[in-house]
Chain A
Amino acid sequence: MKKSFVILLIALMVVSMFSGCAPKEQDVVKIAVAAPLTGDFAEYGTGFKNAVELMVEQWNTDKGGVLDKKVEVVVYDDKNNGEEAATIAEKIVGDAAIAGVVGHFASGVCMAASPTYQEAGIVEISPSASHPDYSSEGDYIFRNNTVINVEAREAIDIAVNALNAKNIGILSVKTDWGTSTASIVKEIANEYEGVSVVEHQEIIDGTVDFSPVVTAFNKAKPDVVIVVGMYNVLAPFATQYKAINSDINFVGFSNAYSQELINLGKEFVEGVYLPAIFFHGSTNENIKGFVEAYEAKYGSAPSSLTAQAYDSAGIILSAIENIESTDRAAIKDELYKISYPGVTGETTFNENGDAQKTFAWLKVENGAFVEVDK
């Protein structure tokens, strides 16, 4: 009884695994999205998926697809897990109709998958990877994310010029992004005259209790704390810090740019500054159109990373249109030449595959983000 049960199970599995490999249709162009749709980071992955689906839908309705073929999105959930990402990567490169990949969320997960993409020669654009070594994994590996050095300088500029800070505190999450950003912020801050970093505290991702950290900052008395973390670090940290010292100011990073920041921090994130490459209240027609379409379709405002995913898909599709081919190597070559006017600004890739962006300064005022003059 039990053995036959087992055999039945295995047979079922084999059948369902093969059923995944449907006959290849060459009359569509596929864009793959690989992102966490389950697990702790599902919110970001869902944003990626929504953004790419929206972009593809717009191409299909406005232009009738690309190269007269319909564009299709294939979505893979990697649970933000390297092991799964590597398997997914094999799946993606095995599907000849897939022209490019938008995705993988965390740098570590991207880097578990990128050797496969590089080996097989398919373009991967991560909207979020920030690991310094990520884009040098190979010439097929791109990121449409801010470059840490540039963004760190903007953050310090805000602290020094907009908030007149002399003593800076840094709070960073202990992830590849947080740690490398914090060390660059420290380095750059030393170049400014009369500015010093008085305290640096690190936290593990997922911390909600900031009391020991706040106590340490409160002793060092910085004028401004630069928070290298997502919205779910910045908001509770600001809440707990402001309860003790209401005069403190915060500067965040573009990764924290999300409506959730205000939903979670309420009055305590008033006056928080961020450098951002995307601003959903912008008067730019292009951006306005995206934000309206996104809100109409999904009922929530797009965040910075979501906008970057949206552009990533757009970049791949434009590259295909420019070269009039879905040849994977040709797409790669085109990406180094392309200059894409997206919702996160004019995007070009340098020889590493890092996107060059310009920043705007945002501030939370009366429960909404507003753009401030530099």
Chain B
Amino acid sequence: MLFQQIFDGLTLGMVYALIAVGYSLVFGILRLVNFSHGSVYAFGAHIALVVAVSMQWGIFPALVISIIFTGLLGIMIDKISLKPLREKKSKPIAALITTIGVSYIIQNLLMIIFGSHSKWFPKIFDYGIIKLGDISINSTQLFIFLVSLLLLVFLTIIIQKTKIGLAMRAVEQNPKAAHLMGINVNYIISFTFFLGGASAAIAGTLISGYYQVVYPNMGFIAGLKAFSAAVLGGIGVLYGSVIGGLVVGLSESFAVSYFGGGYRDAVAFVILILVLIIRPKGIFGKKEITKV
């Protein structure tokens, strides 16, 4: 029972981690809470739905096409709505509200195009159940675990080892200086949004393949919780998102067992508030110095 709860929690945590990475990426570079990420994630899932179910092309083409389209959506969001704000040097709150407006648009368009009902999605990587004594482990759960880790390693390599990653880190530290060093800052930000969108597409496809349910509003609560996970781990720190996701997932699993399902959604937010009070930068977050 206990091990089963832990395992349930870990899988759920990986689900949050997958979404949280997208928040973290964008926040790391822009210091912007991207509220549209939840609906971008839903968008990714719906693209995958069209390719995998309506067009019957199979799950891997669905994943690839979804990554491309969702990544492009990310770039579009930045180019159309956020870049002008950066140029005007408007307050962070303006950008925050913009992303909320964007999420209204995406979510309602999804609803109009696809309908608000829950839609079936094919199960991915289904090799049945592995039973270890009392514990049942779903093969899809393992698969999600592995893919999330791979994605994380892949993103970390991009950021730490590649030239564009170096540029991303430079922009994160000081956009102005990076610009003076000949880095095309807008290009780097667009690239970051592409990565954010792509990771949302991966999350959308995998998670839909696990739960087999897709609906336009799927990104809202999942997005908020993933966001809590990102903050918990230290927003802007990629591996922090994973740890944060796992903590949130585990606590949720235990909360359901000991307090009942009604408190489930509260757990993530209670953790969020506690973390913010005790250690605002998150577990692995770097302390920022206020410059005068």
- Counting from the closest, the 10 A-B pairs by CB-CB distance are A212-B256, A211-B8, A42-B116, A232-B118, A43-B117, A203-B261, A202-B261, A208-B211, A43-B116, A212-B253
**Nearest opposing residue in chain A for B217, CB measure:** A40
Within the assembled complex, what's the spacing in Å between the Cα atoms of A166 and B15? 36
**Nearest opposing residue in chain B for A174, CB measure:** B262
Which one of B15, B108, B119, B213 has the highest number of Cβ atoms from chain A below 10 Å of its Cβ? B213
B residues less than 8 Å from A231 (CB atoms): 118
Q: A40-B116, A42-B111, A264-B120 are in contact. Are A207 and B257 (CB under 8 A)?
A: no
Q: Which of B253, B257, B264 lies in contact with A204, CB distance below 8 A?
A: B264
Q: How many residues of B contact A (CB 8 A)?
A: 35
Segment touching B, from A62-70, A213-221, A366-374: A213-221
Q: Which of B1, B115, B118, B218 lies in contact with A219, CB distance below 8 A?
A: B1
Determine if B252 and A236 form an interchain contact, defined as CB atoms under 8 angstroms apart: no
Q: How large is the interface on A (under 10, 10 to 19, 20 to 34, 35 or more residues)?
A: 35 or more
**Total A-B residue contacts, Cβ distance less than 8 Å:** 91
Q: How many Å from the CB of B173 to the closest CB on chain A?
A: 38
15 pairs of residues in contact across A and B, judged by CB atoms under 8 Å: A38-B108, A38-B111, A43-B116, A43-B117, A174-B262, A201-B261, A204-B265, A209-B15, A212-B9, A215-B5, A235-B118, A235-B213, A240-B211, A263-B120, A264-B213
B residues less than 8 Å from A46 (CB atoms): 115
Within the assembled complex, what's the spacing in Å between the Cα atoms of A218 and B118? 26
Q: How many Å from the CB of B73 to the closest CB on chain A?
A: 21
B residues less than 8 Å from A236 (CB atoms): 118, 211-213
Q: Is A17 at the interface (CB under 8 A from chain B)?
A: no
B232-264 toward A: CB 8 Å interface, digit per residue (1/0)?
A: 000000000000000000001100110011101
Determine if B5 and A260 form an interchain contact, defined as CB atoms under 8 angstroms apart: no
User: A43-B116, A202-B262, A231-B118 known; 10 other A-B pairs, CB under 8 Å?
Assistant: A204-B262, A209-B15, A212-B9, A212-B256, A212-B264, A232-B117, A236-B118, A236-B211, A239-B212, A264-B119
A residues less than 8 Å from B129 (CB atoms): 243-244
Q: How many Å from the CB of B136 to the closest CB on chain A?
A: 5
Q: How many Å from the CB of A48 to the closest CB on chain B?
A: 13
- Classify the secondary structure of A's interface with B: helix
Which one of B108, B115, B212, B221 has the highest number of Cβ atoms from chain A below 10 Å of its Cβ? B212
A230-275 interface (Cβ within 8 A of B): 231-232, 235-236, 239-240, 243-244, 260, 263-264, 266
Q: Which of B111, B217, B256 lies in contact with A213, CB distance below 8 A?
A: B256
